[in-house]
Amino acid sequence: MHPNFKSNRVSLKKMAKDLDGRLILAIGVGNGAQARILHELIYALEDEGKIPDFIGGFIYYCSGYLCAADLGFADMGYILRGQMEHQTHVVESATWFASVQNGKPAFPIGVDIDTGYGNEPSSVILAVRQMHKLGAQFVQIEDQFGINKSCGHMAGPLGKGKEIISTEEMIKYRLNPAISYAKDQDDLLVVARTDAVAVEGTKSAIAKAIAFSEAGADILFVEAPENEKELQSVADELKDTSSLVLVNVIEGSPETPYKSPQQAHKMGFNMAIYPLGALFSSNDNLVKYYRAICRGESAFDALPKASLNEWFDRFGAMIGRDQTQNWNQYFTK
């Protein structure tokens, strides 16, 4: 039987249009293996009828934090456009393979482009264009100052405070170019993020988000509300805009209260990003594994019991070993 190389990808625009009060989950994937695991798992849960009705779709999320971590760096301004392009390409390629393997559509890809890799509109346009060309269906751009920026849940690269540009500068130099490019595409949305909570407070951050919506942003992202009241006010005060409203959930963060997808949905958010949980959970298991091996112990004493063949075969099946063998056998027979 001739191999099928047709691969579909779910449309984020259609997903958003058909949301009907449900919640989109954007889940962080730091490499191709994680992307394939997520793809396979979602469809396995769907086949078992275990995807809750309040979930309206999924996104593979490429974050600056994950890209930096993959290179061994903190998310504190080290990442350049080329590294994020590579990350996007890896996730697109891996999910294409996964889609061809199980015959199910790949999900949309969302990409964090930080401050746009240059404050000039031309730099923003190039960044947006490159991520879109490589498969992104949303790009996320923020209002931190381009130098000395950091993860939204960190205090800043100097250990204190953050710097942001004005609402006018954000719209003029970053949002307008991104939105203008996206409007000429069939399948691209723009996420506008503000880090103003840490600098000017929640009231100012909400006002900025409203201005971003009026400028044409498709999705609003107020980073790091500090308590339940602030988090709820973001959902409540932005719900009447024409944009979707997202919450960023980082397990263990001291900045924003943790919310499960169900809790985020009940608060009124349209999208929830879970960017780092996969990294943190896999890191814990890596530490256990490395510790056991370095002590001369068996890895099976440190991690859940399984035979070596179960580990090896399970991962090989997920990563497409049989798929690759079938292709090679078909074209060399």
The pLDDT, as a whole number, for residue 305 is 67
What separation in angstroms does the CA of 52 have from each of 10, 16, 45, 273, 297?
A: 18, 17, 10, 17, 42
What SS3 state is found at 208? helix
The pLDDT, as a whole number, for residue 93 is 97
Which domains, ranges and CATH numbers included, belong to the chain?
A: 12-286 (3.20.20.60), 303-332 (no CATH)
d(CA 278, CA 255): 19
Note the helical H segments in 222-260: 228-238
Contact call for residues 224 and 248 (beta carbons, < 8 A):
yes
Strand (E) positions, 99-183?
109-112, 136-142
The pLDDT, as a whole number, for residue 149 is 58
Contact call for residues 192 and 209 (beta carbons, < 8 A):
yes
Task: Please write down the long-range contacts of 224-229, taking CB distance under 8 Å and 24 or more positions apart.
Answer: 224/152, 224/153, 224/195, 224/197, 224/198, 224/248, 224/253, 224/255, 224/256, 225/197, 225/256, 226/197, 226/202, 226/255, 226/256, 227/257, 228/257
Task: Please write down the long-range contacts of 129-133, taking CB distance under 8 Å and 24 or more positions apart.
Answer: 129/181, 130/81, 130/85, 131/84, 131/85, 131/88, 132/181, 132/182, 132/185, 132/188
The pLDDT, as a whole number, for residue 161 is 65
What separation in angstroms does the CA of 314 have from each of 37, 103, 223, 299, 318?
A: 11, 19, 38, 17, 6
Q: What is the pTM of this model?
A: 0.94
Q: Each residue's pLDDT tens digit in the chain (333 positions)?
A: 778 888 799 999 999 999 999 999 999 999 999 999 999 999 999 999 999 999 999 999 999 889 999 899 888 878 889 999 999 999 999 999 999 999 999 999 999 999 999 879 999 999 999 999 999 999 999 999 865 555 555 555 544 567 899 999 999 999 999 999 999 999 999 999 999 998 899 999 999 999 999 999 999 999 999 999 999 999 999 999 999 999 999 998 888 899 999 999 999 999 999 999 999 998 988 998 899 899 998 877 777 666 666 888 888 988 999 999 999 999 998
The pLDDT, as a whole number, for residue 156 is 54
Residues whose CB falls within 8 Å of the CB of residue 295, separated by 6 or more in sequence, listed in order: none
- DSSP element (H, E) containing 123: helix 121-133
